[in-house]
């Protein structure tokens, strides 16, 4: 048995919503040959599941490695530390930022319907959209639509906090924030 780890966006899916039937059939053929399949994504688990129909019991790595799932059981591997999350909520409030904050399953969001990410948040309606105050354990925070200078300043300020990892995508104006040292794929021999 071999293990195959597949990134989703930009590797299996090119529109962010579907995976071509031929690709899904090839992955299914690997399963039928007894191989282990793992899907990894920057998406949280709830947003990963709808794009991989037929593989809901596969091993999943979500939120850039902060979440893992096996047989539908979702576990938080590395939450954002409480003090760092309080700081992030303060930054969001003070600068009146648009955001998506993912908990283990539910999420809080303020995002314009026209933002490209808006259609990818909980597309199958598997979770509840809750207030930011109701998220007690955050695994990923995405700050949206920041002007270039504000994104650079916030990225430097937040990256200086030893508990946070900040990824900025050029041209998007978004900052993806997770706990420090979170990377996909992540070894998980203790939960396999």
Q: What is the pLDDT of residue 191?
A: 37
What is the C-alpha separation between 185 and 89, in angstroms, rounded?
Answer: 28
What is the C-alpha separation between 136 and 151, in angstroms, rounded?
Answer: 25
Q: What is the pLDDT of residue 192?
A: 38
pLDDT in tens, 73-105: 899 999 999 999 999 999 999 999 999 999 999
At residue 47, does pLDDT exceed 50?
Answer: yes
Quote the tokens at residue 140.
């990923």
Place of tokens 């002007």: 147
Give yes or no for a contact between 185 and 64, defined as CB atoms under 8 angstroms apart. no
SS3 90: helix
DSSP 188: -
At residue 171, does pLDDT exceed 80?
Answer: no
Quote the tokens at residue 100.
């998506």
- Residue 2, CA atoms < 13 Å, CB-side half-sphere: 7
pTM for this prediction? 0.86
What is the C-alpha separation between 138 and 15, in angstroms, rounded?
Answer: 27
pLDDT in tens, 102-151: 999 999 999 998 888 888 899 999 999 999 999 999 999 999 989 989 99
Q: What is the rounded average pLDDT for all residues in the chain?
A: 88
| Domains of the chain from N-terminus onward | 3-76 (3.40.50.1000), 82-179 (3.30.1240.10)
At residue 27, does pLDDT exceed 60?
Answer: yes
């Amino acid at each position: 048995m071999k293990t195959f780890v597949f990134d989703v966006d930009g590797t299996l899916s090119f529109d962010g919503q579907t995976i071509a039937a031929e690709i899904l059939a090839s992955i299914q053929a690997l399963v039928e040959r007894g191989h282990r399949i793992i899907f990894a994504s920057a998406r949280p688990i709830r947003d990963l599941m709808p794009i991989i129909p037929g593989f809901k019991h596969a091993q999943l790595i979500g939120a850039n490695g902060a979440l893992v799932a096996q047989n539908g059981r979702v576990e938080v591997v590395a939450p954002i530390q409480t003090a760092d999350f309080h700081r992030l909520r303060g930054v969001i409030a003070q600068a009146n930022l648009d955001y998506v904050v993912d908990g283990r399953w539910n999420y809080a969001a303020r995002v314009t319907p026209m933002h490209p990410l808006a259609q990818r948040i909980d597309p199958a309606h598997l979770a509840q959209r809750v207030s930011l105050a109701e998220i007690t354990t955050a695994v990923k925070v995405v700050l949206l639509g920041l002007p270039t200078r504000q994104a650079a300043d916030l990225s430097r300020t937040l990256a200086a906090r030893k508990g946070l990892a900040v990824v900025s995508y050029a041209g998007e104006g978004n900052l993806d924030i997770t706990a420090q040292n979170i990377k996909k794929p992540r070894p998980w021999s203790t939960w396999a």
